[in-house]
Amino acid sequence: MKHIPIACALAVGLSLGAQAETPSTAAAAPEPEAAGRPLYVGSAACRDCHDGVENGNQYVIWLRSRHGHAYWRLAADWALYLGRLRPKYQDLVDPAADDRCRLCHVTGARDEGARFADSFRAEEGVGCESCHGPGSDYMSPEIMADREAFLAHGGRLPDEATCRGCHRRPENFDWDGWWPKIEHRRPPAQAPADAG
């Protein structure tokens, strides 16, 4: 009987610890006007429908790209060194935790009032929703199958201006050269075999 209070305290402590938000999932409480905004769900939520040869290996193309590694690049020693070379970043201490760096290295960081689902992970870097917008309202297969419905539910088709939100230095950004490296269209549907 004497062990019951200790066991209860341990169970409560463990359950509270399991519910604690981590820096990668925590989001500030949304402002009242943002309450109806869609949520960023994370690139892993896109994988089921955007993986495999039949889908053009879209998820793998992203995962192998610099975008898929953008957050983790901030943890490298050279990120701190390179960051401090910039006049406005000479006080940089931890690029992965610095909002100035996260603006371009973490999906949704540039979106004022952004809301994040429990599935979202900052560690995914520059994910699908950085270009296509927060996905909670358009991620169902029925909406994704219809381009007009996708756009009506907040989906975006990226263009050069989308990229230039982060790639601001024209001398270091060549749209025509870089776009083919990350383009990830679905292959055209296979025509049904002629049964004739």
Residues 71-93 pLDDT 10s: 999 999 999 999 999 999 999 99
The owner of tokens 């749209």 is 175
Mean pLDDT across the chain = 79
120 in Cβ contact with 42 (< 8 Å): yes
Residue 72, sorted as left (phi over 0), alpha (psi -120 to 50) or beta, turns out to be: alpha
Looking at residue 184, its pLDDT comes to 80
**Report field, pTM of the whole predicted structure over 0.85:** no
